[in-house]
């Protein structure tokens, strides 16, 4: 499966403009052969917009979701995008996956909220999510989630072949995109697609540096600091080859890690 990452500054607070940008990117990605297009964290609304994000929150089947589904049908591409989800009186930092026919494929709620602002605005999700896209087992995390090795390891052990990560990584934390993301791909022998924002939004300056890291921890594609549309091929045989070269997955000892370490001299 060929995937695309749309690295974008977006239009803060303007859902209609962001949906237009989504369609433009999806059309170009489809023209270049992509089956899945991944957009940044809270792409529909903007990330650093304060309390306004609560006002713009929608049900996962709300009007923006219906328009995204229509874009998927018109372009023939699956779409993964970040948005604020309103459900049962709570708001979640969420990502919605729509299949290439416009059907609902998955919805993920960020499980590790970053910093005081996110914890004030959003309720944390409580489960990991995986769905199949064009024959590829695709898991979803959002930004800070991928910095927890346990989350990615859990998904890898469940059979994930691709971990797709809408994100809003800001300066000075660019080491996450450069170092941590490829490490997650290598240590779990799967693909990680990291779709970041770029530019400045209120007080935050985003790193860009979106990437697709392969199961050996190598960059397949890497953006700079400005708007970009990255493309990369996700190949199951590369995953199999990486696991043949290095038996890391087979050599894991989960019971060892769950036991407390023995104190010296005991």
State the Cα angle at 90 between 84 and 95, rounded to 5°: 30
Tokens describing residue 108: 């993920």
Tokens describing residue 20: 């237009």
How would DSSP label each residue in 94-117?
A: EEEEE-TTS-EEEEEE-SS--HHH
In terms of C-beta density within 10 A (0-12 exposed, 13-18 middle, 19 or more buried), how is residue 115 classed? Answer: exposed
Cα–Cα distance measured from residue 226 to residue 7, given in angstroms and rounded to the nearest whole number = 8
Tokens describing residue 167: 């994100």
Active site residues: 41, 110, 143
Total H helices, total E strands in the chain: 10, 14
Cα–Cα distance measured from residue 17 to residue 217, given in angstroms and rounded to the nearest whole number = 35
Tell which residue, 168, 165, 151, 140, has the closest CA to residue 53.
168
């Amino acid at each position: 499966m060929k995937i695309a990452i749309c690295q974008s500054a977006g239009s803060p607070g303007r859902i209609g403009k962001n949906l237009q940008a989504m369609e433009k990117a999806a059309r170009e990605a489809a023209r270049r052969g992509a089956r899945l297009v991944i957009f940044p964290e809270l792409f529909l609304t903007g990330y650093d917009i304060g309390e306004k994000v609560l006002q713009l929150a929608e049900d996962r089947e709300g009007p923006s979701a219906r328009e995204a589904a229509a874009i998927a049908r018109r372009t023939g591409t699956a779409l993964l995008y970040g948005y604020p989800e309103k459900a049962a009186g709570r708001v979640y930092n969420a990502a919605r996956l729509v299949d290439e026919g416009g059907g609902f494929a998955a919805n993920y709620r960020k499980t590790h909220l970053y910093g005081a602002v996110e914890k004030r605005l959003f309720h944390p999700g409580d489960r990991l999510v995986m769905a199949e896209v064009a024959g590829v087992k695709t898991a979803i995390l959002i930004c800070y989630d991928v910095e927890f090795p346990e989350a990615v390891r859990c998904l890898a052990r469940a059979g994930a072949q691709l971990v797709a990560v809408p994100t809003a990584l800001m300066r000075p934390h660019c080491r996450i995109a450069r170092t941590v993301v490829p490490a997650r791909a290598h240590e779990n022998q799967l693909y990680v697609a990291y779709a970041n924002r770029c530019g400045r939004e209120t007080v935050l300056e985003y790193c860009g540096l979106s990437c697709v890291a392969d199961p050996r921890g190598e960059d397949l594609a890497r953006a700079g600091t400005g708007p970009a549309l990255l493309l990369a091929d996700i190949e199951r045989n590369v995953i199999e080859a990486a696991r043949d070269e290095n038996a890391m997955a087979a050599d894991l000892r989960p019971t060892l890690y769950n036991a407390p370490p023995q104190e010296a001299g005991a």
